[in-house]
Amino acid sequence: MAERVFRRGPFPVKFRLLQVRRVRRVTPHMVRVTLGGEDLVGFHSDSADDHVKLLIPNPGELKPVLPTMGPHGVVFPEGVKRPATRDYTPRRHDPVAGELDLDFVLHGSGPGSTWASRAKEGDFIGVAGPRGSLMVADDFDWYLFAGDPSGLPSISRRLEELPASARAIVFLEVGDASEEIPLNTRARMELTWFHRNGAAPGTTHLLEQAIRELPLPPGDGFVWAAGEAISMRNIREFLVNERGLNKSWVRVIGYWKRGTADHEEPHD
Ligand SMILES: Cc1cc2nc3c(=O)[nH]c(=O)nc-3n(C[C@H](O)[C@H](O)[C@H](O)COP(=O)(O)OP(=O)(O)OC[C@H]3O[C@@H](n4cnc5c(N)ncnc54)[C@H](O)[C@@H]3O)c2cc1C
């Protein structure tokens, strides 16, 4: 039987200098930045699980300094201040219009959030990747998606791509009702929004509790979740160790970590 979850890539790394075409407030704490430019030609994103590495100009710089790929990896010119790098999800790519949408959570300080909160038409940013794609079959008996606002771009995209035959259970944690967004899907979606009601992001157990209390449907399921790292680790351990789900069908990733800038965990 063909693998139902498999990787494509690695693809050659290209560093693209793109420019902001439009900015739209999606919620009080999320902004959609549409990027374009000649460098977008040849960009592709095969999976909702993909990410790009943003190269964010340092304060006061018009453009980020982009590196090149040398035989031993990434090479920056001598003596320059390197851009900050952060991971974001290609929310929508339209090769015909030459546009790439990224949705940024505005959480406060941090190069990614700060850049997005000030982004305006004509601003420059560097984009590298995706380096690879995790391909997920669309014929699982059920899907469970869970996330905080940082996971919402990927979950929204996945829901848009699922066929009508799919069943998707979706748990989303946001600050309050103003952060809920419409989700478009042909799939049979059972959606629950959870509100932090004043609690700081990454301090609640709302998603974990909902997953612990969920009677898993029969058949083969694929789980995808993203959000604060500790909260995600607890969810992953519960699903794999206590529920005994197939590890290759459980993709639960810490997208950021409370109190830590530029959190990185292996996510390929
Ligand atoms: C594969 C992948 C895809 C991702 N896709 C997206 C995406 O599409 N949209 C998106 O908004 N994020 C996404 N993220 C998460 C994003 O990369 C992190 O939130 C990143 O830390 C943001 O960088 P920053 O410069 O704003 O903050 P940092 O400088 O990294 O952190 C500064 C402070 O802010 C806190 N912080 C960071 N992120 C958040 C948050 N989301 N909520 C609350 N506090 C936070 C940190 O704990 C730290 O204390 C993705 C992460 C990964 C790994």
pLDDT digits (tens, 9 = 90+) for 57-116: 999 999 999 999 988 989 999 999 999 999 999 999 999 999 999 999 999 999 999 999
- 267 falls in which pLDDT band (50, 70, 90)? low
Pocket of ligand 1 (CB under 6 A): 51, 86-89, 103-105, 107-113, 150, 153, 201, 255-263, 267
The residue extents of the domains of the chain are: 5-128, 137-256
CA angle (38 as vertex; 82, 73 as ends), nearest 5: 35
Q: Are domains 5-128 and 137-256 of this chain identical in fold?
A: no
Residue with CA closest to ligand 1 atom 27: 110
How far is ligand 1, taken at its centre, from the CA of residue 150, in Å?
7
Per the confidence metrics, is the pTM higher than 0.95? yes
Calpha distance 100→81 (Å, rounded): 26
| 202 Rama sector, left if φ>0, alpha if ψ -120 to 50, beta otherwise | left
CATH number listed for the domain at residues 5-128:
2.40.30.10
Other CB atoms within 10 A of residue 212 CB: 14
Mean pLDDT, range 163-190, rounded to an integer = 98
Fold of 137-256: Rossmann fold (3.40.50)
